[in-house]
Amino acid sequence: MKNYYIILLLLASANGVLAQKSSRKSLEDSTQALQTVEIVGRKETTYTNTTTFVGSKSATPLKDLPQSVSYVTKELMLDQGAFRLNEVVKNMSGVNQASFYNDLTIRGNRVSGQENYSMLVNGMRSFSNFWKQLLIPHIEQVEILKGPASALYGNASPGGTVNRVTKKPLDERRMSINSSVGSFGTFRTTADFTGPMNEQKTLLYRLNLGLEDSESFRDLQFDKSLIFAPSFSFLPNDKTRVNFDLVYQNANTRLDRGHAVFGDGDLYSVPVNRSLSVMNDYLKEKSYNVTLSLNHQFTDNLTFTSAYMFTSFDEDLLEHRTANTYAKNAAGANINNLVEMQVFIRKRTWNNANFVNYFNYNFNIGSLENKLVVGYDYAQQVLRPGGSQLVAGGYRNAANNGTIATYVAANRTRYLLDAAENPVPNVAHIDLTNPDPYALRDVSKYFFTTRLFPQSFFSTQGFYVQDQIKVGKFQALLGFRQDSFTEFVNYKTNTENKVTQSAFIPRVGLVYSLNNNVNAYATYMGGYQPQTAATLSNPNAGGPFDPLISNLIEGGLKTEWFDKRLNANVAVYQLKQKGTLYNAGDTQNPDRLVQIGEEVSKGIELDVIGKIATNWNVLFNYAYCNATITQSRNEAEIGRQKPNAPKHLWNLWTKYIIGRGPLGGLGFGFGTNRQSSYLGSIVAAGQQPKEFPAYQLVNAAIYYRISKFQVQLNINNLTDQTHWVGGYDYLRAFPGAPRNWLATVAYTF
């Protein structure tokens, strides 16, 4: 009952109805009263969560928010043996992987790392890498706020916004250590320590550690990762809390560009373990986040929050990768077993800063209860000077002292030819019939050109107002944001170009309580996302581009059952967007992007999560999403399914623990994930995108707890189904792992 008591206090505090008559209330009660933002540690230990902060910047019951929110708590992550963000999105309706990378599809819309939107940490913008999936040992909860979140956060992805809530210090002692071994040489260990640092509990700490040294089912792929995440909370009085958080991550791996198959397009023609890497490839990434936040309660109804976050990210890369085409013979035709290759050697550093300030004020006007949020935020991102890339690719010229980007048969005399009269590549092709193509390559033999990433700078700032009004069974959420975006292309050079954009972004939502268990809601919100060449950090992409404009209409039901232990929600939506970027299919410039006129996603989502009985947890969701192109420069594209946007997604996970008797402490988990077929990326005009097949995975687990020890065994893809979690084309497909296991021993003390 203690957990339910804490939740009730949180909800009462957020609505301004908790009477605080005495100035001598306990520190624990005051701490909970301060929880109007994500600065206080979550004490619940279940799959369910009843309150959201990211959706309204105040402690709002999920049932009262007129918008769909999917989430996964750390308890579910642990039960499934998850270590990365992509491993948990399968538990969220309407969300799927788009590739091996930090790259997701939400309601048919792509959400990726290494952008200035879409990925938040504790409701703040933080730079996140693209090539490597995000680690989660230090994460308390992953939330996805469905639809454009621009009215609160400015430039945001139209499909949804991912928010990672980090673990915060608790005022009670908790400690745990987990170690795992498994398939593909997997070794992982994590530790989580928290508690007070003095008797008065005015100084709290938390330390999360994570270490991984693992290989992969993909040849030559591996991960050596370290995460170090200490945090501290200082509570000088019962009205004030100061948090300091540091997250340091260091990763050593290789960049896996995907699965390449023969030119006839048979996905099964090449084993899924085959990669295009070679032994001397590497990807080294290093990042740190530093956050300082202050929350002060001036009165029972007025609270101020201020937070500053600084992020630094370094990328150091050497990769052999496909040139997104097959090798050419003398006549200029594809050689279907040879993949044309290129080499990138790249170094870049980004710095991000994020400053957030807002007031929460609860007040009444007659019978109207108001929860007002007024705020201002500022964020900036800088690509540091020196960012550059050496590129080797194309074909050798006749003099063998340089290269030509592409082979044109009519000009064959300009090229160096081999004994078979075929053009000689600058970087040797990969032969898909070669059983061992991974030997060291002497990169000094290649002809390189230098591609500069000019120093870039952008800033975004906005003023926003939001009021949640309640009268009787009705609630209304009214808000807007005035946003300003500024970007400097070729920053601090003679050709510096300043790009400015602004937008007024509305948000309107209504909630009606049908009874104590069921709320109906409807919402409309606008979306806004600037996108220019510097934002994309790729000078070959083209641009600058017009902003992405979107709007969402959504309605549904949110319900709570069994004393709030089980939640069941349904949402119906229509999402329109204009200006999405797609690859242009330009053989002369594979990185060039174009903007397609309009796209529409229509769908329905059903979510059930919680406890059926004391020891029986369940999660089920289904999503139907019809995401199509409705306006385009190419009539053949109209009505076409959007890339990596399956129409149907089903997910199920259930866990049961035997509570007593001789088998007490023994538990079982079972789950399945099904995804319908989907298309890859749009390619050159006149060509059809590649189709990737539907699949269904079966996962299982067994648990046994005795005293402070727990042993668990997770088996994923139990039926060993060959499948692809995403793909661009048949040279860049992304297969899922075959059957694999992970054994974990956990000790809590």
Distance, CA of 554 to CA of 584 (rounded, Å):
32
Residue extents of the structural domains in the chain: 2-166
Kindly report the backbone phi and psi dihedral angles of residue 445, in degrees, each rounded to the nearest multiple of 5, phi listed first.
Answer: -85, -10
CA 26 to chain centroid, in Å, comes to 38
DSSP structure class, residue 552: E
Q: What is the pLDDT of residues 84-96, one digit of tens each?
A: 999 999 999 999 9
pLDDT at residue 537 greater than cutoff 80: no
Return the residue matching tokens 């008591």: 5
The Cα-based distances of 612 to 1, 386, 577, 701 in angstroms read 17, 57, 39, 19
Per-residue pLDDT averaged across 133-137, rounded? 94
Band of residue 529 on the pLDDT scale cut at 50, 70, 90:
confident
Using DSSP's 3-state secondary structure scheme, residue 319 falls into strand
Q: Domain 2-166 is classified in which CATH homologous superfamily? A: TonB-dependent receptor, plug domain (2.170.130.10)
Helix (H, G, I), strand (E, B) or coil at 153: helix
Q: CA 160 to CA 150: how far, in whole Å? A: 10
- 3-class SS of residue 580: strand
Task: Identify the pLDDT of residue 18.
Answer: 32
Mean pLDDT check: name the lowest of 148-157, 201-210, 339-348, 675-684.
Answer: 675-684
Q: Give residue 3's pLDDT.
A: 41
> How remote is the C-alpha of 192 from its chain's centroid?
23
pLDDT score, position 6: 35
**Section 510-537 average pLDDT:** 86
- Tell me the backbone φ, ψ of residue 32, rounded to 5 degrees: -65, -35
Q: How far is CA 177 from CA 105, 115, 137, 189, in A?
A: 33, 34, 11, 7
Q: What is the pLDDT of residue 9?
A: 35
The upper half-sphere exposure of residue 635, i.e. CA atoms within 13 Å in the direction of its Cβ, equals 0
- Residue 241: pLDDT above 90? yes
Q: What is the mean pLDDT of residues 113-130?
A: 84
- Residue 375 forms beta bridges with which residues? 358, 464
- Is the pLDDT at 490 greater than 90? The verdict is no
Q: List pLDDT tens digits, range 293-343.
A: 999 999 999 999 999 999 999 999 999 999 989 999 999 999 999 999 999
pLDDT band at 525 (very low <50, low <70, confident <90, very high): very high
Run of H or E including 407: none
Cα–Cα distance between 82 and 85 in angstroms, integer?
Answer: 8
Tell me the three state secondary structure of residue 3: helix
pLDDT band at 684 (very low <50, low <70, confident <90, very high): low
Region 490-516 average pLDDT: 90
**Tens digit of pLDDT for each residue in 163-190?**
999 999 999 999 999 999 999 999 999 9
User: Residue 136 to residues 112, 211, 247: CA-CA distances in angstroms?
Assistant: 17, 11, 11
Per the DSSP assignment, residues forming a β-bridge with 112 are: 103
- Output the pLDDT for position 635: 77
What is the CA 274 to chain-centroid distance, rounded?
A: 26
Residue 682 has pLDDT above 70, yes or no: no
What SS3 state is found at 227?
Answer: strand
Helix H, strand E, coil C: the string for 625-669 is EEEEEEECCCHHHCCCECECCCCEEEEEEEEEECCCCCCCCEEEE
Single out the residue of 406, 269, 394, 273 nearest to residue 730, CA to CA: 269
**Integer Cα distance of 402 and 371 in angstroms:** 66
Q: Classify strands 456-471 and 449-452 as parallel, antiparallel or unpaired.
A: unpaired
First-to-last alpha carbon distance for the chain, in angstroms, is 22
Local structure of 23: helix, strand or coil: coil
User: What are 592-625's pLDDT values in tens digits?
Assistant: 777 778 999 999 999 999 999 889 999 999 999 9
Name the nearest CA neighbour of 288 among 355, 349, 369. 349
C-alpha pair distances (Å), 632 with each of 70, 457, 542: 32, 31, 18
Tell me: pLDDT of 580 over 80.
no
pLDDT tens figures, 184-217: 999 999 999 999 999 999 999 999 999 999 999 9
How far, in Å, CA of 393 to CA of 365, rounded? Answer: 69
pLDDT tens across 249-285, in order?
999 999 999 999 998 889 999 999 999 999 999 999 9
pLDDT band at 501 (very low <50, low <70, confident <90, very high): confident
**pLDDT, tens digit (0-9, with 9 covering 90-100), for 419-474:** 999 999 999 999 999 988 999 999 999 999 999 888 888 899 999 999 999 999 99
Q: In the predicted model, what is the mean pLDDT of residues 8-27?
A: 35
* Mean pLDDT over the full length of the chain: 89
130: Cβ contacts below 8 Å, ≥ 6 apart? 101, 102, 103, 112, 113, 114, 115
Q: Tell me how far apart the alpha carbons of residues 492 and 494 are, in angstroms, rounded to a whole number.
A: 7
- What pLDDT is recorded for position 533? 57
Residue 54 vs residue 568, higher pLDDT:
568
Question: Buried b / exposed e across 485-524, counting CB within 10 Å, b at 16+?
Answer: bbbbbbbeeeeeeebebebebebbbbbebeeeeebebebb
Under a CB-based contact definition with an 8 Å cutoff, are residues 463 and 480 in contact?
Answer: no
Enclosing H/E stretch for 67 = none
For residue 577, pLDDT over 80 is answered with yes
Cβ atoms within 10 A of the Cβ of 331, count? 9
pLDDT 10s digits, 30-61: 334 444 446 676 766 789 888 888 899 988 99
